[in-house]
């Protein structure tokens, strides 16, 4: 049985897909028609692996989130069975992965913009690679309607404005705390001036 393995590398992400041709579907010996395993390595994070269903869930939420983020929309996306969730996390992005195995705690991965871009690129290269003859179970990407963008942009702007307000408040408060007071200096100066004036009157 032919066992194939193909790798997709970007700066911070490395995705390896292993599988074999689907003979019943007429695949060539260099084509993966059946995925047997996959691994994903994101710099600074544990090695991720799973079944084809988990990979499809990852692809689904990453594609939707990245498209929305490019359009200026910051919102949370959750995959089927809540296996994978991605949401805004300050100026970064939080990827939450729930294991289908019992007793395994959820894994959180924080991505910055460049890491999100690298991960999206890896998954995009896989999706359109001619060496794979697989119908991925992900929703068809349709253009966002103008109504959808305006509605979600307004919500995103409210959240961003609230976040910036908190940051400005905390920053201003911290500055005021460290500003030194000069009450003693003013009292001393006032006393000296009063004494000088008294001597002049004499």
Three-state SS string over the chain comes to CCCEEEEEECCCEEEEEEEECCHHHCCCCCCECEEEEEEEEECCCCCEEECHHHHHHHHHHHHHHHHHHHCCCCCCEECHHHCEEEEEECCEEEEEECCCCCCCCCEEEEECHHHHHHHHHHHHHHHCCCCECCCCCCCCCCCCCHHHHHHHHHHHHHHHHHHHHHHHHHHHHHHHHHCCCCHHHHHHHHHHHHHHHHHHHC
Q: Is residue 155 over pLDDT 60?
A: no
pLDDT at 160: 56
Q: Is residue 53 over pLDDT 80?
A: yes
Q: Is residue 198 over pLDDT 50?
A: no
pLDDT at 187: 46
If 0-12 CB within 10 Å is exposed, 13-18 middle and 19+ buried, where does residue 57 land?
buried
Per cent of the chain over pLDDT 90 is: 51
pLDDT at 185: 45
Greater confidence, 39 or 155? Answer: 39
pLDDT at 154: 52
Mean pLDDT of the chain: 81
25/1 Cα distance (integer angstroms): 15
Q: Band of the pLDDT at 143, cuts 50, 70, 90? A: low
Q: Is residue 176 over pLDDT 70?
A: no
Q: Is residue 201 over pLDDT 90?
A: no
pLDDT at 131: 95
Per cent of the chain over pLDDT 70 is: 68
């Amino acid at each position: 049985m032919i066992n194939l393995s193909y790798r997709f590398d970007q700066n911070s992400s490395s995705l390896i897909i292993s599988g074999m041709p689907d003979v019943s579907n007429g695949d060539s010996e260099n084509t993966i028609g059946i995925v047997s395993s996959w691994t994903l390595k994101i710099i600074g994070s544990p090695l991720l692996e799973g079944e084809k269903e988990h990979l499809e869930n990852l692809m689904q939420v990453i594609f939707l989130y990245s498209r929305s983020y490019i359009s200026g929309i910051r919102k949370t996306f959750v995959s089927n069975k809540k296996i994978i969730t991605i949401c805004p996390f300050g100026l970064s992005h939080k990827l939450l992965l729930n294991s289908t195995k019992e007793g395994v705690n959820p894994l959180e991965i924080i991505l910055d913009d460049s890491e999100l871009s690298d991960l999206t690129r890896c998954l995009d290269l896989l999706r359109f690679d001619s060496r794979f003859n697989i119908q991925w179970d992900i929703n068809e990407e349709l253009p966002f309607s103008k109504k959808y963008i305006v509605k979600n942009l307004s919500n995103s702007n409210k959240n961003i404005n609230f976040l910036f307000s908190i940051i400005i408040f905390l920053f201003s408060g911290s500055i005021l705390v460290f500003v030194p007071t000069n009450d003693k200096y003013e009292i001393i100066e006032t006393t000296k001036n009063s004494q000088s004036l008294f001597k002049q009157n004499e």
